[in-house]
Structure 1
Amino acid sequence: MTISKPAARRHVLQETDAEADRQLNTLTGWRRFIDGPPTPPVLASRSAWQQMNPAERDLYDESRLDHHARMLTVATSFVERTAICGRRLVLLNRHAISARRGLIVSGPAGTGKTIAITQLGLSHELLDRARHPHATHRIPVVYVTVPPAATARMIATEFARFLGLPVRARSNMTDIIEAVVGVCTDTRTALVLVDELHNISLTSRHGAEVADTLKYFSERLPATFVYAGIDIGESGLLSGTRGAQIAGRFTLIPS
């Protein structure tokens, strides 16, 4: 039996959508992460496994490996310190009108920075759900990543993409920012996680504009901002006029 081209195309699109739904920088993917790992696959007996044909056996083994790849995160002292400090800042900023404090998680590559800030986001969102069990419209946490060689429009688009807002080619920066601020305010966003901060270079015009855009978002949104990146202290992001503003308002946690 052959599969028609439209059917094959639909299958590919469905697989692409499923992969996109696993990404943390989309609202659907973030909520899947918050809802926890899927139900473990049914454990087949040894005899049942031996009776499977090679294709069935491969699919069965793959489902088990996929489940084990999403096991629980170990709460190391670094993860706990990030979560405690982040939750305290959220409480301190709750009634702040301006000059909200933030958090920077910095360290070498592969030291668990993304895990630490996403666990902070997980704990905050679970607490928010416990406080408002029937408020399904709330988006208490926003998670975005800074793209390589990012521009101000690109970072604003990342916020819009997480929220599922359409960004058209003719949309200007003001339109995108106002839409993001409006949705985040209406949905009571209280924590914004910005990963891969090391992709910003304050020595370039685009990098400086990205830093200014993030600062503008932090002033417009009644939320606590948490940044994570590789060796932020040594990258120059905390030096100069813009860097001094960041360093003065953010607590640095080394990984």
Structure 2
Amino acid sequence: MTGAALYTLSRKEGWRRWTDAASRVRPDLLTRRQLARLGADARADFDDARHDWHANFGTIKTPQLAAIHDELDQIVATNRQDPDRVRGAAVIDALPGLGKTTIANTFARDFDRVQRRRHGERTADGHEHLPVFRVGLTSRTTLRTLNRMICEFYGHPGTDRANAAQLASFAVDCVLSCHTRIGIIDDLHFIDPNRRDGVDVSNHLKWLANELPVTFIYAGVGLAERRLFAEGLTGDSAVMAQIATFRLHLAGSSGARVRENERHSLTLT
């Protein structure tokens, strides 16, 4: 592979690198005669550059993607309430391979660029200005795992030796200090609502929404079918329904149909 070293969007350094990356330059189109004149090494380099280009030529902003970005932009724009109020959230729910993560990441990247252009790279107190944090959940995600991943995004030094409560406090401090306004929680389907730790994580998501002045964007597969955010659950799982009071639901495959209700739902069909 050509280009720079690998990185991950689950760390602030990787997220910043991706956010600030310039658009890729398309390799020159060469005729057969020009290709034949290339030496062995030059031809190998040219082919490698073309492989990179075709694998990373960028995201096509289809009408569907643009419509969802517009909805997300409205939610973020309306979340200017004082810190004592809970902000609306977005849930992107669809089958695998339909671009849920791409939708969330590209929207947050554009938002990140605008915020840093307007407000600078440092806060008034001298902290890094990080308008977005992003974490991807794993199987058997626990309360401590979620808090740790948020802290690891910011590079907090106390991540390895803190308990769940301390990590939660560190995460709040990082978000507030870095003036973060969007939090992406990807692969939400790894939360199992039938397990005790799944209920704990669901409760913690509600707590984070109450405590943090950010707009959360959740993404996952089959969240509606799993009733992760649905009201009306029974038995021990009834506590899961509390998140439904502050969600924006995005779901589907192709095309866009907007339906408004008290939760400002948008369904893609």
Same fold (TM over 0.5): yes
Which whole-Å CA distance do the structure 2 matches of 1:75 and 1:44 have between them?
24
- Match in the other structure for 1:81: 67
Residue 56 of structure 2 corresponds to residue 90 of structure 1? no
- Match in the other structure for 1:198: 189
Mapping of residues 7-26 of structure 1, within 5 Å: 18-19=5-6, 21=7, 23-26=8-11
Mapping of residues 32-181 of structure 1, within 5 Å: 32-37=17-22, 39-40=24-25, 43=28, 50=36, 54-96=40-82, 97-133=84-120, 135=122, 137-181=128-172
What CA deviation, in whole Å up to 9, does each residue of 1:91-135 have, x standing for no partner?
Answer: 222224222211111111111111111122022112212322454
State the SS of the aligned residue for 1:18.
Answer: coil
- Match in the other structure for 2:248: 251
How many pairs were matched up? Answer: 238
Q: RMSD value over aligned CA atoms?
A: 2.5
State the SS of the aligned residue for 2:5.
Answer: helix
| 2:15 partner letter | W
Q: Which has the bigger relative contact order, CA under 8 A and spacing at least 6?
A: 1
After TM superposition, the score normalised by the length of structure 2 is 0.79
| 1:102 partner letter | A
Query: Structure 2: 5+ residue runs without aligned partners?
Result: 253-269
- Match in the other structure for 2:223: 232
| 1:199 partner letter | F
Quote the offset at 1:203 in angstroms.
Answer: 0.7
Quick check: which one's helix share is greater?
Answer: 1
After TM superposition, the score normalised by the length of structure 1 is 0.83
Which whole-Å CA distance do the structure 2 matches of 1:134 and 1:206 have between them?
37
Residue 10 of structure 2 corresponds to residue 29 of structure 1? no
Quote the offset at 1:52 in angstroms.
Answer: 5.2
Q: Structure 1 residues 33-42 or 112-121, which shifts more?
A: 33-42
Contact residue 26 and residue 164 of structure 1 kept, 8 A: yes
Which whole-Å CA distance do the structure 1 matches of 2:116 and 2:68 have between them?
20
Contact residue 37 and residue 71 of structure 1 kept, 8 A: no
| 1:147 partner letter | T
State the SS of the aligned residue for 1:157.
Answer: helix
